Amino acid sequence: MIKTPMQRIFAVLRVIGVLFILYFVTFPIFWMALTAFKNNRDAYSTKIFFEPTLNNFRILFDGNPYDFAPLIMNSVIVSVTTVLIGVPLAVMAAYAFSRYKFRGQNLLLVLVLSAQFLPATVVLLPYFIQFRNFGLLDTRTGLIIMHLTISIPFAIWLVKGFIDSLPEEIEQAALVDGCTEFQTLRYVTLPLIMPGVIVATVFTFVGSWNEFLFAFIMTTSNRARPMMVGLLALNEIDGIPWEKLSAASMIIMIPMFILALTIRKYFVAGLTMGAVK
């Protein structure tokens, strides 16, 4: 193809546009990463060159008053368990909701979803009372149950969309061949909706990892507190120490970034598949 001057200008504009996107997407993260290595005074300047310090990270682990080590452990355990339990349950439920017709189906679906849609601040108190009665306050188990109730409805909803988009005939063939319902789900349906399951996994994991309000109310000590609570605890009466907050948010975000980048392809495929039929 021959390029006209007009096309060249467009090509240049396009590159500028892409660079602008790159800037918009990464700059806030880049800036936080930079701030994490500044001292308090430099944090309040737009300096790009400064004497870097690891002090902000050290402070988060020295136990006076912040101690992030057990918090990281709690976050990992809670989020991983939530995914390991939540996603399989959600996939099975989504399959049932999608493939079987039964009485009260819609009512049940609406009920399951409603729990998710009520503002957290309204259900926070009764949750707290209920968890107190069951002795689940300040335990990881309690937090996992909490996060399951938040994530399962959304995951069901998401995965159901993917299963709905599959023609039922695929499974019928398998059933006719003598597979049980579970075998059908496991060996026929699941591989086909894998991108959707991955999207649900990412949403569940990110949601649990980043959840703050319930985690804060349900935990009172480092025994069960996840990192998000520790991070927001930095927002103090003396103001927000940006440099420490940035350091803590780096610790929180980096595992998320690694996760996001490793499964990016499947994730994007899942997002797209859910939307385009």
Partner 1 sequence: MKIKKFASIFALLTGLLVLAACQPQTVEVIKEVPVEVEKIVEVEKEVVKEVEVIKEVEVEKIVEVEVEAMAEEPDAVPYNLTPGKPYDGTTVNFLICCPTAGQFAAWQKSVDEFTELTGISVEFANEPWGSFQERIVTESIAGTGAFDAVVWPDSWGPSFSNTLQPLEPLIERDGIDYMDDYPPAFLEAGTFNDHIYGIPVRTHAFVTFYRQDVFDDLGLEAPTTWTEVLEAGRTIQAETDMAGLSNYYGVGSAQNLFVYALMLWGNGGDIFDDNYRPTFNSQAGVDAANLYASLAEIGPEAQFNNNEADARGSVQQGESAMIVGWWHFAGGFSNPEVSVEGVVGNMQHAALPAVEGKDPTGFALSIPVGISSFSRNQDAAWEWIKFISHPARDKAVVMDKSDPATNTVVASHTSVITDPEVNEVNGGIHAAAAPGLENSRLMPLIPEWAEVSSIMETAINEIVLGADAQSTLDEAAADVEAVMERSGYYKDQ
Partner 2 sequence: MDRGKYAKYVMLGPAVVVTLAASLYPMYFALVTSFRDWRLSRSLVPQDFVGFDNYVRAFQDERFLNSFIVTIKYIVISVSMSIVLGLLMALLLQRKNWLNTITKTLMILPFAVSPALRGFSWKFMLNPQYGAFDKIVDTVFPFMADINWLADPLWALIMLAITEVWGWSPLVALMFIGGLGTINPEITEAASLDGANEWQVFWRITLPLLSPIILLVTLLRIIFSLKIFDQIVTMTGGGPGDATQALNYFVYLNGFKFFDFGYASALGYLLLILMLIAAFFYVRSLLGGNES
Q: Does 187 bind partner 2 (CB under 8 A)?
A: no
d(CA 194, CA 241): 42
Alpha carbon 80 to its chain centroid, in Å, reads 11
Q: Does 120 bind partner 1 (CB under 8 A)?
A: no
Which of 40, 141, 262, 272 is the binder for partner 1 (CB under 8 A)?
40
Tell me the residue type at 207. G
Q: Does 240 bind partner 1 (CB under 8 A)?
A: yes
Which pair of tokens denotes residue 194? 């894998």
Work out what residue 216 binds among partner 2, partner 1, none; the CB cut-off runs from 5 to 8 Å by kind.
partner 1
Tell me the residue type at 36. A
The count of C-alpha atoms lying within 13 angstroms of the C-alpha of 199, restricted to the half-sphere facing its C-beta, is 22
For residue 154, the minimal CB distance to partner 1 (Å) is 19
Work out what residue 107 binds among partner 2, partner 1, none; the CB cut-off runs from 5 to 8 Å by kind.
partner 1
Interactions with partner 1, residue window 131-150 (CB under 8 A): 132-133, 137
Which pair of tokens denotes residue 203? 């949403």
With beta carbons less than 8 A apart as the criterion, state whether 158 and 200 touch. yes
Count of residues that bind partner 1 according to CB under 8 A: 35
Query: CA distances (Å), 209 to each of 3, 6, 68, in order?
Result: 49, 48, 15
Q: Does 41 bind partner 1 (CB under 8 A)?
A: yes
Q: Does 71 bind partner 2 (CB under 8 A)?
A: no
Place of tokens 């990270």: 57
Which stretches of the chain bind partner 1, using CB under 8 A?
Answer: 39-41, 44-45, 64-66, 106-107, 110-111, 114, 124-125, 128-130, 132-133, 137, 213, 216-217, 220-221, 232-240
